[in-house]
Each structure stands twice: as C-alpha cells, then as structure tokens.
Chain A
Amino acid sequence: MISLKKYSNLARFQSLIALFVMCLVLTLTADNFMTADNFWNVLRQISVNVCISVGMTLVILTAGIDLSVGSVLALCGAITAGLLKHGISIPSANLFIGFTVFGVVVAGVLCGGALGFVNGYTISKFNVPSFVATLAMLTMARGFTMLSTGGHPITGLGDTLGFLGTGWFLGIPMPVWISGIIVFVAVVVTTKTAFGRYIYAIGGNENAARLSGIPVTKIKRWVYVLAGMLAAIGGVLVTARLDSAQPNAGISYELDAIAAVVIGGTSLSGGKGSIVGTVLGAMIIGVLNNGLVLLDVSPFWQQVVKGLVILIAVIIDKANSKSE
C-alpha cells in the first residue's frame, strides 16, 4: 500500500519531473540555457500559449474543445490594432470615436468574449458538438480577420501598446506579468470557487451535475466566453509584441494549447486535470522549443520531437490512470 501511494504521488508530479530533467539536460548540453536572459525569454515566449491554454483547460475540463482560439486571437488582435490606429469613424453622422490603449484592449477582449459566447450558445442551445461549432468559428473568425484587415498587417501602433508586449515591470517582462496573473486567478477559480467545482462536475458527469441543480448550460456558455476572452488577451499580447496585427497570426495555436493541456495531464474526456498541470505542459513545450533551438536542431526535427513528447506524455498518463 505504501509503495502504491508513493507511486501515485510520483505520478502527480510527472510533468514537474519531466520539466526538471529537461532543464538539467539542457543546462549540461547548451551553454546559454541556464541564464537569466534565457529564463525570461522562455517565459515570455510561452505567455501567449499560457493565456490560450488556460481557457482551453476550462473548456476541456467540461469535456468540450475550442478549436477557434487561434482565429479568435487573430481577429481580436486585428480589432485592437484597427481601433487604436483608425478609431471608429462614421462620416455620414460626422462622427469619429478615438480609443485609448486601455480602451482598445478592453474592446478586443470583449470581442473575444462575444465570439466565445457564440461558440457556447451554439453548443448548448443547438447541441452542436463543440468540435464542430468551434471548427466553424475557426473558419469564420479567420475570414473576418481577412475582411477587416484586407489581408494586410496593421502596423505602427505606438509605444504604449508595445509596452504590453515588450516592456518590463519590476524586473519581469509584461507578458509574463499578464499571463502570471491570469494563471493565478484561474487556479483560484478552478480550485476554490463553486464555479470551478461545477466545471469539474459537468465534465465528470453532466447528467449528475444537471440533476444536482447545477446550471449546466449557463456554466458551459461562460466557459467558452472565458476561453474567447483569454484568446483575445493572447491576441493583444501578440499584436503588442510585433507592433502589428498580422492577418495570419495564431494559425495552429489551438493545437499548441491542446498539447499543453494534454501534456499537463488533463483528460480530454473531461472532469480531470488542473491549470497548474497545463502551465507545466506549456513550460515543457516552451523549454523544448527553446532547447532545440539552442542545440541547433533543425526546425523539421523540432516538430517531430514535439509530437513525440505529446505522445509519450499521454501514454504515461494512461498507464498511471490504469494503475490507480
């Protein structure tokens, strides 16, 4: 019994152990891995994926999936950039509305929430599988991005917005602040609130949740709204870092997010997993990307290795849940 308990404790920390081992190996093999610069570099690089993955975790915990986050990121980034640069002008009414940076960020995030609401509404109202509903949104949001930008990047957004993407505050990069705060809030919400408990209950057994009086439909909608808002925050960060909104930003980001969630031990069938696991998953991917670059591995091989890591993580996870 004691050995079994030890083992399950070990299993809980498997991603942490994997991350530690990777860091150890890279420290020994790559000269400039274990430096402060590189440390912040890795965290900054993963911050967008962390934002998206947190939302993805919430969705996957309810046994759903959100494929639209990459496109939502692009559209909201474009809206943010467009409003900042051009504002809203209605010539017929002789009206022009200008935006502050704060204003455009709020507007962008609200747009993300609205797109997420459409996802949640179609899924809960018409019983469309989340895979299909968000696949449709993936295509539509990308189309709107192209329409709103005309297919060209929106550039020259100024230093204030740029600060969010490239600035430092108290010795920590801004994107790391933002993603860190999001993670903290998400951990509290999932582990310490009724809303979080309901998310797990819905993913664990939707029928039982409904029969316990949990407002399943409402909570599912909120989860997609949050996923959309978090994708939009990712869009703001990308736009701010590049000082431009690219119409093809965020392509295949949903897959990176799903990878982080899965490596972090969250079950795609819902009800099992954690935000902390997802963050570790995102870190593993980040360190892997970073390490492979530092080791000068060809980008083609990088993809192969990333795929293998996902596979191994899930296989280990399955083996663990069986032995439970």
Chain B
Amino acid sequence: MESILKVENITKTFSGVTALNKVNLKLSGGKVTALIGENGAGKSTLLKIMSGIYTDYEGVITFKDQPTRFAAPKDAQDSGISIIHQELNLIPNLTVAQNIFLGREVINELGFLDESNMNQKTKALLNRLKLEVEPDEMVSSLKVGQQQIVEIAKALLTESEVLFMDEPTSAIGESEVKVLFKIIHQLKAEGKSIVYISHKLDELFVLADEFVVLRDGQVVGQGEMNQISRDKLIGMMAGREINMTGKSERKISDERILQVQNLNLKNPQNPQRPILQNINFELRKGEVLGIYGLMGAGRTELCESLFGLRGRLSTGTITLEGRKIYFHSPGQAIESGMALVPEDRKKNGIVPDMSVAENISLTVMDKVTKLGLLSEKLQSKLYDKYVSSLRIKVSSKNQFIRNLSGGNQQKVILAKWLERDPKVLMLDEPTRGIDINAKNEIYELITRLASTGISVIMVSSEIPEVLAISDRILVMCEGRITAEFSSEEATENKIMNAGIPENLNE
C-alpha cells in the first residue's frame, strides 16, 4: 500500500529530555490508524511535529513522496494535514460558517467578505457530514459534539488528506460518538488517512485498522488492529501486564450519612426543562456510590447543587447526618464535611502558578498558620504527609502544580480534601485525562478511602470504571435518576440502556 505520510527517524528533545526517539511511521489513505500510549509517551509531540507546530526536530517527513518540512501549522493545513485538537479551537461568538472559513475567507470583487458564498459552501459541507445546523448559527449555541463536527468540516474545507483526531470523544456523549464514528467511516471510504488518538481502547477496536503504540518516545509496537488483543495492547503501553483491581470486600455500615429528597434544579435559560428533576437517593457511611450518565444528564450539576454552587435555583431537602442542611456557598458545604473534586481540573481544580504544597494547604489554611502567620514548617509537614501516603510524583514541594502530570495533579487535589477529613467526598470524573496506571492508583485510593469510612460519590461517563469500584450504581438521564443497581446486578448493557434517552434508543 502506498503511504501518504511517512515519518522517518524523528527525534525531538526538550531542553535535554528526549520526547521522541527515532520514531518511524507510515500512514496510508483509506485507513484509520490508532495512536496509542500513556500520557507523556510522546503522542502529542509527534502530532505537533507532523502538523507543523514544532519545527525543530531531527528526521525526515515525506508527504506524498516529497520530503517536507512544515514551517508553521498553516503550511501543514494548506498541504492537506489537519488536526482536531482535544480542546476545540472554535470561536464561540462567530457563526459556524465564519469559523469554518476563518483565515481563508472568500472575498468578492469589491474586496468585501462574500457571506452568501461561504454560507453555501458551509451548508454543503454540513450536509456531507449530516450535521443539521444552519451555517449562520453561533458556535456557542451548538453542543460539544456538534462543535467537533464543525472542526471536521473545517478540515474538509482544506481538502485535508490526513486528519489527526486527538481524543475526539473525551467530551461528547455516546450518541454523538456514534455520529462521529459514522463520519470517520465515511472519510475513510473517501480515501482519507485518519490518525485517531484515544485512551478508550474499546473505541479503537471498533474504529481502527492499524495501531501504533508509543512508550517513552519510542514505537514499541505496530500492526493490524484485528490481530492484537486488548490485554496485549495495554501490556505494550505500560510495559507490563495490568490487572484491573476490583473493589475489595468491604463491610458497609447501615448508617445513613446523606439523604437527598426531591432535589430539583431550575434551568434559568429554559424553565420548561429543569436541569435536575426529583432526585432522590441516599448514601451510607463508607459506601462508594457510582453515578453514571452521559454528557448533559445532570451529573455535574447534581454535585454542584449538593456543594452549594447553584444557590436558590436548587430546591429540595438534603439531610447530612440526620440534620437538614442548605448550603449557600461551597464554604458552608465544606464546613459541614462535603468535598468536591471537580471534573475540569485545569479550570476548576488547580491553581496552576502555585506550588504543590500551596495547593494542598489551600483548604486548610488554619492548619498551616500560627497566630495568623503562615508556617513553612507546618506546610512542609502537610506536603510530606500526602506525597508519601498518596505517592505523588513531584520533584520538590516548590514545584508548580501545572508541571505535574494529570494523575499527580488529581492526587494533589485529593490531598487538599483529605486533610479536611470529609464525610462525603464527591468525585466528578476523577480519572479524566489520566493514563491507565495512574487511573488504577486512583481507583485503589478511592477504595481505600471508603474503607476508612468516607462516603464517596463518584460521577463518571466510563461504564467499566463505574462497574469496577462502585458498591451501588445510579444512572442519570436528562436530569432524572433512571435506574439503580447493586454492584452484583449491574452490567454494562443495563447501565447503558438506562443512560440513553428514550428517543435515541435504537
């Protein structure tokens, strides 16, 4: 098979640290190649080299039989290589058409923008991708999944022959994933070459023809997807076999710690469709309650309501340890023993320019001050305690948290809550963007915490994860709880069925 893009002996170092070491890669038209590896394995570096973002590297890139060296991302795009980044790069307050034509606007004879021409072409592209959206709709009014398809439309406009997709399903729901997969199949049939990066191996087995596994900047395996097993792939990525540790046998006491009755959350934008409707559940001491739901099911909003972030929009009765409570602010919720590890670490979790030690002490300033003055010694003590007990990989207590890997950042955030000794620990997508090894560590940690008597609410959109560590599982869909399973009776199919809205259920 002729290759469209060939990468030979690519080496890239960052101030002495080798990120890629003599990587070789061949991409052919009409194929989907899975690029697999743990965080930090070099996937994004490779992506950035092939798409012209990094320009200083050793090695040769051959594109359509021509040795090429892109000087800028625009070069790569113009020659037919596009990236769809994990974090979408659309401008929310421009229309779909304006976004698609950004940087390559069509100009009429008078030198003005030819809106109707651009709208027409956009319409054609959107039809091709079967996205039912008008070209003059604002991108901000689209769902994340739809925005992703707009990104793809943008790539198709430049007649890209190679498309890189970096974790395209990390932010979209299952039904949107299906649409995306259909489009990928269609693009493949049109002869495009697609490189698909994802942590979700199940997706890759459905989608990919070939795989390339990166580890520590080197290619450690490549071949045909249908000739490899899931376990072998995981083994290659981690360099060792992983056994997914299930939950240990724990006795959960009957003591009821939290009870939520009739919780509703109004939607200020659309009063007809409340965000949460009639939520009822209870949580026992030392229990891990898994809450599964697709994007938009109201999972995050449920956590936020319980944490005092939704103010008067939320109504209902919350009883904590037999006491009826109502939180106006996170401060009150925290005082009462609640803790929330938010979904979006970067946006809501870490203070990036503060050190690891400072981030840990943020929730417990009274414990690191003496007579109102900060004590370095107390802060260091706190830091030492959690670095060893949670095995946080960090070079010094003064290291900025932003320089840590996702998994270690998550541990720091956990540390700042554990020091408050919470009664109820809410974890919103605790392993998002975290590599497999670190995920397992987080799972073990959650189980360990539960066995010390902390009650855990874990919200997740990954069914295997929910199944692996929950004692009990709630499924949410469109703002309601649609099912409850004990860990024995729960299966992937049952959960999925309860989580998909009726009208989408095929």
Q: Write the residues of chain A forming the contact surface with B, with a CB cutoff of 8 angstroms.
A: 1, 4, 188, 191-194, 197-198, 200-201, 204-205, 207-215, 271-272
Sampled A-B contacts (25; CB under 8 Å): A4-B15, A188-B373, A192-B373, A193-B372, A193-B374, A194-B372, A197-B374, A200-B351, A201-B354, A201-B362, A204-B352, A204-B353, A205-B350, A205-B352, A207-B342, A207-B347, A210-B330, A211-B307, A211-B330, A211-B342, A213-B330, A213-B331, A213-B335, A214-B362, A215-B329
Contact assessment for B416 and A212 in the assembled complex, using a CB-CB cutoff below 8 Å: yes
Alpha-carbon gap, A4 to B353, bound state (A): 19
B97 at interface, CB cutoff 8 A: no
- B307, B350, B354: most-surrounded residue (chain A CB, <10 A): B354
Distance between Cα atoms of A204 and B402 in the complex (Å): 11
Contact B374–A192 (Cβ < 8 Å): yes
- Tell whether B340 is near chain A: CB-to-CB under 8 Å: yes
B375 (CB) vs chain A CBs: closest residue: A192
> B449 to nearest A CB, angstroms?
19
Is B80 part of the binding interface, using a Cβ–Cβ cutoff of 8 Å? Answer: no
Q: Whole-angstrom distance between the alpha carbons of A197 and B373 in the complex?
A: 11
**Chain B residues touching A, majority SS:** mixed
Nearest to A198 among chain B residues (CB) is: B365
In the assembled complex, B267 has its CB within 8 A of some CB on chain A: no
Q: Which residue of A lies closest to B376 (CB)?
A: A192
The 8 A-B residue pairs with the shortest CB-CB distance in the complex, in nearest-first order: A194-B365, A213-B334, A204-B351, A207-B348, A213-B331, A205-B351, A192-B373, A212-B362
Shortest beta-carbon distance, A160 to chain B, in Å?
Answer: 34
In the complex, whether B287 has a CB less than 8 A from a CB of chain A is no
Q: In the bound complex, do residue B354 and residue A200 qualify as a contact, i.e. CB atoms below 8 Å apart?
A: yes
Q: Is the CB of A197 within 8 A of B365?
A: yes
Question: How many Å from the CB of A2 to the closest CB on chain B?
Answer: 11
> A197–B358 contact, CB under 8 A?
yes
Shortest Cβ distance from residue B378 to the other chain A in the assembled complex, whole angstroms: 12
Contact, CB under 8 Å: B331 / A194: no
A200–B365 alpha-carbon span in the complex (Å): 13
Besides A208-B349, A212-B363, 9 new A-B residue pairs in contact (Cβ under 8 A), listed by A number = A198-B365, A201-B354, A204-B354, A207-B342, A208-B348, A208-B350, A211-B309, A213-B330, A271-B354
Whether B186 sits at the interface, judged by CB under 8 Å, is no
A215 & B348 in contact (Cβ 8 Å cutoff)? no
Measured CB to CB, the closest approach of chain B to A152, in angstroms, equals 46
What are the residues of chain B within 8 A of A192 when measuring CB–CB?
373-374
Decide if B492 is an interface residue (CB 8 Å cutoff).
no
Report the minimal beta-carbon distance from A124 to chain B, rounded to whole angstroms. 13
CB of B369 within 8 Å of the partner chain: yes
Is B366 at the interface (CB under 8 A from chain A)?
yes
Q: How far is the CB of B375 from chain A (nearest CB, A)?
A: 9
Q: Are A201 and B331 in contact, CB atoms less than 8 angstroms apart?
A: no
Q: Which residues of A contact B340 (CB under 8 A)?
A: 211
Number of A-B contacts (CB under 8 A): 73
Residue contact A213 to B374, C-beta cutoff 8 Å? no
Give B372's nearest chain A residue, CB to CB. Answer: A193
Q: B330, A194: Cβ atoms under 8 Å?
A: no
On whether A193 and B348 interact (CB within 8 A), knowing A211-B342, A214-B362, the answer reads: no
List residues of B (336-391) whose CB comes within 8 Å of A's CBs: 340, 342, 347-354, 358, 361-363, 365-366, 369, 372-374
Q: Within the assembled complex, what's the spacing in Å between the Cα atoms of A188 and B362? A: 18
- Give the CA-CA distance A61 to B189 in the complex, in Å: 54
**Complex partner residue of B366 from A4, A194, A214, A215, CB under 8 angstroms:** A194
Most chain B CB within a 10 A radius of its CB, from A188, A201, A205: A205
Interface residues in B, total, Cβ within 8 A? 31
CB nearest neighbor in A for B400? A324
Which residues of chain A have C-beta atoms less than 8 A from B333's C-beta?
213
Report the Cα distance A271→B350, complex, angstroms: 12
Name the residue on A nearest B342 (C-beta). Answer: A211
By a CB distance below 8 angstroms, the chain B residues around A271 are 351, 353-354
Q: Are B351 and A208 in contact (CB under 8 A)?
A: yes
**Which has the most chain A C-beta neighbours within 10 Å: B329, B347, B348, B358?**
B348
A191 touches B354 (CB 8 A): no
Interface hits, B290-345 → A, CB 8 Å: 307, 309, 329-331, 333-335, 340, 342
Q: In the complex, which residues of chain A have a beta carbon less than 8 angstroms from the beta carbon of B365? A: 194, 197-198
Q: Which residues of B contact A215 (CB under 8 A)?
A: 329, 331
A209–B365 CA distance with the chains assembled, in angstroms: 12
CB distance from A63 to the nearest CB of B (A): 12
> Min CB distance, A191 to chain B, in Å?
7
Q: Which residues of A contact B350 (CB under 8 A)?
A: 205, 208
User: With a CB–CB cut-off of 8 A, which chain B residues contact A197?
Assistant: 358, 361-362, 365, 374
Q: Which of A194, A213, A214 contacts B369 (CB 8 A)?
A: A194
- In this complex, what residue of A is CB-closest to B366? A194
A57 to chain B, nearest CB (A): 16
Residues in A with CB closer than 8 Å to B353 are 200, 204, 271-272
Q: How far is A209 from B350 in the complex, measured between Cα atoms in Å?
A: 9
Residues on B with beta carbons closer than 8 Å to the beta carbon of A205: 347-348, 350-352
Docked-complex contact B348 and A191, CB < 8 angstroms: no
Residues of B within 8 A of A204 (CB): 351-354
**A194, A198, A209, most chain B CB atoms within 10 A:** A194
In the complex, chain B residues whose CB is within 8 Å of the CB of A188: 373
A4 to B307, CA, bound (A): 43
- Please give the distance in Å from A7's CB to the nearest CB on chain B: 11
CA distance A207 to B347 in the complex (A): 7
On whether A193 and B351 interact (CB within 8 A), knowing A212-B362, A213-B330, A214-B362, the answer reads no
Contact A191 B334 (CB under 8 A): no
A122 to B313 alpha-carbon distance, docked (Å): 23
Question: In whole angstroms, how far apart are the Cα atoms of A31 and B506 in the complex?
Answer: 89
Specify which chain B residues have a CB less than 8 angstroms from the CB of A207 in the assembled complex. Answer: 342, 347-348
Q: How far is the CB of B325 from chain A (nearest CB, A)?
A: 15
Q: Which residue of A lies closest to B348 (CB)?
A: A207
Q: A191 to chain B: which residues have CB within 8 Å?
A: 374
Shortest C-beta distance, B417 to chain A (Å), equals 9
> Bound state CA distance, A213 and B309, in angstroms?
11
In the complex the two chains form, what is the Cα distance from A194 to B361 in whole Å? Answer: 10
What per-residue 1/0 map shows which CB atoms of B118-132 lie under 8 Å from chain A?
000000000000000
Are the CB atoms of A201 and B369 closer together than 8 Å?
A: no
What is the CB-to-nearest-CB distance from B16 to chain A, in angstroms, rounded to a whole number?
8
**A residues near B352, Cβ cutoff 8 Å:** 204-205
- B372: chain A residues within 8 A (beta carbon): 193-194
CB pair B363–A213 under 8 Å, yes or no, is yes
Beta-carbon nearest neighbor of B345 in chain A: A208
Measured between alpha carbons, how far is A272 from B358 in the docked complex, in Å? Answer: 14
Query: How far, in angstroms, from A208 to B409 measured CA to CA in the complex?
Result: 13
Contact with A along B414-436 (1 / 0, CB 8 A): 00100000000000000000000
